A = this chain, B = another copy of it.
Amino acid sequence: MPLTKKTRHGNILSINAKVARNINRAIILNSIRERQPISRAKISDLTKLNKSTVSSIVASLIAEDLIIEEPDHSPRGIGRSPINLRVKRGKHYVGAIYFDSSKTELAVIDMDGTIISSAEIKTEIGNPSEFVSLCIKKLNVMRGQFHPHHFRGIGVTVAGIVDAAQSKVVYAPNLGWQDLDLGQVVRDYAPAIEMVTVENDAKASALAELLLGTHKVNPTNVVFLSVGAGIGAGIVVDNHILSGGSHAAGEFGHMTIVEGGERCTCGNQGCWEVYASDRATIRRYAAEKKLSQEQTANTSLESIIGLAAHGDDVAKEALTKSAQYIGLGIANIIRSFDPEVIIIGGTIIQAWELIYPEIMETVNKRGFFGKQRNTAILPTSLTGNPPLLGAAALSIRKIFTDYRIAL
């Protein structure tokens, strides 16, 4: 593992007593989060830290109200009963905002991903500063309403290309934003919040799946595939979001899968999302049913899924065709990136029973080279909207791996 690393800003993080303590603190905090309930003794076994070190750090975590002892008197064999530790709920909250082209979602979320309060606003294209301020004010009301203190940070996700290190939106065509210092705007309207994080929606969703999802796997290597109007993806390696040199890693949607194929809005031909996105499904259905332009505009993916569930063969065919193309792209992702798990999010997973066999058939037909691979393909396990939970996950991760290097 690369421990001698440069931070995102080019400095080198050397180890001194404080950093060492904070790293160990983060190790303990995360082992509690991942395996709760867990005793001090088990943590010591797991981390190879001395029992006394674990006790000392756990004491400070309890003082910080981050974890809590859970008295457990159930008989569990020989010896003294362990004192179980858990991440404390109902004490620390984060704000989450997800800016999408049609609507913007807000929420106050607990450390374990429970949504405490949520709201939705129609997204106003135009003056971004004005609209963002409206959202922050709304969020301020929501958090004031519930919990004036222990509000740790605000996470923001945007459907577009984001420079997370600088908390800037590089390009969000659907929102009409370009080179927008969104982090600064948020900080301006919520000056009391120290922790503001901005990230691309699919990337944050991948993080949320890892941090807040209920899949049992604990992979090092996850691709979250967000199928919507377009297709985006987030890649997470070792809890670290892969951002890419131009902040555009995971833009699989514009991967060429049909040379000289149909033209895409991006200017290229044969892009994956032309064949596999929700828009493609709707277009395919509308073409077959010979719907007018207006009727097409009023057709949602939900309605097609509903029709398919009631036996509409045209709807079924539109969905399975998209599923096949999704499988084709996934085969490419597996070949190039070889993740342990691919997680799919988006409206289309409501038709999982219908699409999963089609996806798998295509993936298998595309022939795993040499040895069989065991990449799992799963629908998201998140109970809420992945990009919204992703926004929360950004802050939650910071709390859980905060090194507090400040003197």
* Interface residues, chain A, with chain B CB atoms under 8 Å away: 1-8, 11-16, 19-20, 23-24, 26-27, 30-31, 46-49, 161, 170-171, 173, 219-221, 237-240, 242-252, 254-259, 261, 266-268, 270, 328, 331-333, 335-341, 366-367, 369-371, 373-375, 401, 403
Question: Is the beta-carbon distance between B240 and A1 smaller than 8 angstroms?
Answer: yes
Using A12-B47, A27-B12, A170-B371 as known contacts, say yes or no to A239 and B2 having CB atoms under 8 A apart. Answer: yes
Question: Is the beta-carbon distance between A14 and B24 smaller than 8 angstroms?
Answer: yes
Most buried by B among A3, A244, A366: A3
Most buried by B among A13, A245, A250, A261: A245
Q: Which residues of B contact A1 (CB under 8 A)?
A: 2, 5-8, 13, 240
Q: Which residues of B contact A12 (CB under 8 A)?
A: 27, 31, 46-48
Q: Which residues of B contact A337 (CB under 8 A)?
A: 242, 244, 249, 336-337
Using A1-B7, A173-B370 as known contacts, say yes or no to A14 and B47 having CB atoms under 8 A apart. Answer: yes
Top 9 closest pairs, chain A to chain B, by CB: A244-B338, A245-B340, A267-B367, A15-B20, A249-B338, A171-B370, A1-B5, A246-B373, A4-B26
Taking the closest CB of chain B, its distance from the CB of A175, in whole angstroms, is 12
Bound state CA distance, A287 and B79, in angstroms? 79
Question: Is the beta-carbon distance between B339 and A245 smaller than 8 angstroms?
Answer: yes
Bound state CA distance, A12 and B3, in angstroms? 12
Taking the closest CB of chain B, its distance from the CB of A324, in whole angstroms, is 11
Q: Could you write out 8 A-B pairs with CB less than 8 Å apart? A: A1-B7, A1-B240, A219-B245, A237-B242, A248-B335, A256-B331, A257-B257, A266-B367
Using A47-B14, A49-B14 as known contacts, say yes or no to A371 and B246 having CB atoms under 8 A apart. Answer: yes
Closest-by-CB residue of B relative to A23 is B15
**Other-chain contact of A369, B23, B248, B335 (Cβ < 8 Å):** B248
Bound state CA distance, A332 and B254, in angstroms? 8
Bound state CA distance, A31 and B333, in angstroms? 35
Bound state CA distance, A268 and B254, in angstroms? 21
Bound state CA distance, A267 and B364, in angstroms? 11
Taking the closest CB of chain B, its distance from the CB of A95, in whole angstroms, is 24
Bound state CA distance, A237 and B6, in angstroms? 12
Q: Which residues of B contact A219 (CB under 8 A)?
A: 245
Taking the closest CB of chain B, its distance from the CB of A61, in whole angstroms, is 14
Q: Which residues of B contact A30 (CB under 8 A)?
A: 4
Taking the closest CB of chain B, its distance from the CB of A267, in whole angstroms, is 4
**Other-chain contact of A336, B47, B170, B336 (Cβ < 8 Å):** B336
**Other-chain contact of A254, B245, B248, B335, B341 (Cβ < 8 Å):** B335
Q: Which residues of B contact A371 (CB under 8 A)?
A: 161, 170-171, 246
Known: A237-B237, A254-B335. 7 other contacts (CB 8 A): A6-B238, A20-B20, A245-B340, A251-B335, A251-B336, A257-B259, A266-B369
